[in-house]
């Protein structure tokens, strides 16, 4: 058996990656090369159509696959992945089950309280919450430092949330995510660039979302791919309420900005 040294493999990969980037640059749609300054109304209109459509859905469930990049002190990038199943029922119910590298959690919101449960260690925390999904999302982020998967894209005021501070928007071109034809849009907002892929056709569902942090060294990205949309899921009556399993231990949420562990 012939042994191939790792330096040769590394050199080949670097050369191949460089060639791919160069080739891709030549093949990019004209819209991506000639991006106009400011907000293209067509791009904003596509986003608005998506947020209006999703915001009016009475209920749905969706799978998400997320990838978070972290930059080490050495400058090397490391990726962490997670998979989630999120179910929403308007105006006041949401449940998300997440399995990931860093943490696996269940998130429950029943219109009166929200609960986060860690099945690995059996700890859970519960807090009284506002009476709508939109208000709960803000409360969870600002008071508890908690973000349920995909909530930035599915609230009824998602357009206003996404467009807040946007200085540039344009249509990149047609694309495909998981074999689904999409429109690819790109936005710039202060220290953040973000992209979204919206399903083409009568159901303008979000299919992919990428955030690039420009104010962090090497501009790490956060990516979410959305699949298996169900617009009429069968939802049990008690699906959004948390019932502590035997042996589960209640703890308090830590205040925002306070790190640590509870016994």
pLDDT tens column, 85-137: 999 999 999 999 999 987 789 999 999 999 999 999 999 999 999 999 999 99
> What pLDDT was estimated at residue 9?
36
Q: Is the pLDDT of residue 8 over 70?
A: no
- Is residue 207 a contact partner of residue 183, using CB atoms and an 8 Å limit? no
Count other C-beta atoms under 10 Å from residue 9's C-beta: 10
CA distance 193 to 79: 19
CB 177 within 8 A of CB 208: yes
Question: Which percentage of the chain shows pLDDT scores above 90?
Answer: 76
**Is the confidence at residue 2, as pLDDT, over 50?**
no
For the chain, list the domains and their CATH numbers. 36-251 (2.50.20.10)
Mean pLDDT rounded to a whole number for the chain: 87
Residues 29-42 have pLDDT tens digits of: 555 545 657 999 99
Per-residue pLDDT, 64: 95
Of residues 255 and 243, the one with the higher pLDDT is 243
Give residue-wise pLDDT tens across range 152-197. 899 999 999 999 999 999 999 999 999 999 999 999 999 999 999 9
Q: In the chain, what is the greatest distance between 2 CA atoms, to the nearest angstrom?
A: 66
Residue 167, classed as helix, strand or coil, is coil
Higher pLDDT, 40 or 4: 40
Query: What pLDDT score does 83 carry?
Result: 95
Provide the whole-model pTM: 0.85
Give the three-state DSSP class for 10.
helix
The encoded tokens of residue 229 equal 């949309």
- Six-digit token pair at 143? 């008071």
Residue 13 has pLDDT above 60, yes or no: no
How far is Cα of residue 20 from the mean position of the Cα atoms in its chain? 27
**Average pLDDT score over residue span 235-258:** 90
In this predicted structure, the answer to whether residue 17 has a pLDDT above a threshold of 80 is: no
């Amino acid at each position: 058996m012939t042994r191939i040294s790792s330096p040769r493999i590394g050199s080949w990969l670097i050369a191949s990656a460089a060639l791919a980037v160069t080739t891709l640059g030549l093949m990019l749609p004209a819209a991506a090369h000639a991006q106009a300054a400011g907000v293209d109304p067509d791009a904003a209109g596509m986003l608005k159509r998506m947020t209006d459509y999703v915001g009016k859905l009475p209920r749905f469930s969706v799978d998400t696959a997320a990838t978070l990049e972290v930059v080490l002190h050495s400058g090397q990038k490391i990726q962490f992945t997670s998979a989630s199943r999120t179910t929403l029922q308007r105006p006041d119910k949401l449940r998300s089950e997440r399995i990931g590298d860093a943490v696996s959690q269940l998130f429950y919101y029943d219109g009166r309280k929200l609960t986060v449960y860690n099945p690995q260690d059996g700890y859970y925390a519960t807090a009284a919450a506002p009476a709508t999904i939109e208000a709960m999302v803000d409360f969870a982020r600002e008071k508890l430092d908690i973000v349920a998967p995909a909530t930035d894209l599915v609230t009824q005021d998602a357009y206003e949330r996404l467009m807040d501070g946007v200085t540039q928007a344009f249509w990149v071109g047609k694309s495909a995510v998981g074999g689904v034809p999409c429109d690819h849009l790109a936005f710039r907002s202060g220290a953040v660039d973000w992209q979204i892929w919206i399903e083409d056709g009568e159901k303008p569902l979000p299919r992919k979302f990428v955030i690039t942090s420009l104010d962090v060294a090497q501009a790490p990205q956060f990516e979410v791919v959305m699949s298996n949309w169900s617009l009429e899921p069968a939802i049990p009556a008690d699906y959004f309420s948390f019932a502590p399993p035997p042996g589960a231990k209640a703890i308090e949420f830590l205040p925002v900005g306070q790190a640590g562990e509870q016994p």
